[in-house]
Amino acid sequence: MAVKDARRRVSTPGAPAPAFAYSQGIVSGGLLFVSGQVPVDPVTRTVPGTLAEQVHQCLRNVAAIAEAAGGRLEDAVRVGVYLADLGDFEEMDAAYREHFVEPLPARTTVGTGIKGFAVEVDAVIALTVEA
């Protein structure tokens, strides 16, 4: 099977629709690659006020995409967190920890120049069966 044929797009109304040229997620090789999710509620289109609430919303969006692919957020093997202000690291980490158990996924946290949001989160999730 060619690599192109091995990829499957994942889409769900449970996460914000892509605003530009990308997929919410792509399944390939038993892994789900989730695009960066901003803290927009997919129903109300609102953004929570606090950083912790924004982290929770980002991770709910990632979880919705994982579920649409037949996976679970808990099976994340790698997470990327992009903070508008690295001074928010401890608050982000505390909210983040509420969504994961040991063994925690590998994680990279970087400061970025994102506008309009305090945080964005992407992930790679191991799928038990490629759905």
Mean pLDDT of 20-38: 97
For the chain, give percent helix, strand, coil, nearest 5. 25, 25, 45
Domains and CATH numbers, the chain: 4-126 (3.30.1330.40)
The two three-digit tokens of residue 122, written as one number? 């992407």
Q: Is the confidence at residue 54, as pLDDT, over 80?
A: yes
Mean pLDDT of 45-51: 96
Q: What is the pLDDT of residue 4?
A: 54
Task: Tell me how far apart the alpha carbons of residues 9 and 47 are, in angstroms, rounded to a whole number.
Answer: 26
**pLDDT of res. 6:** 84
Mean pLDDT of 58-77: 98
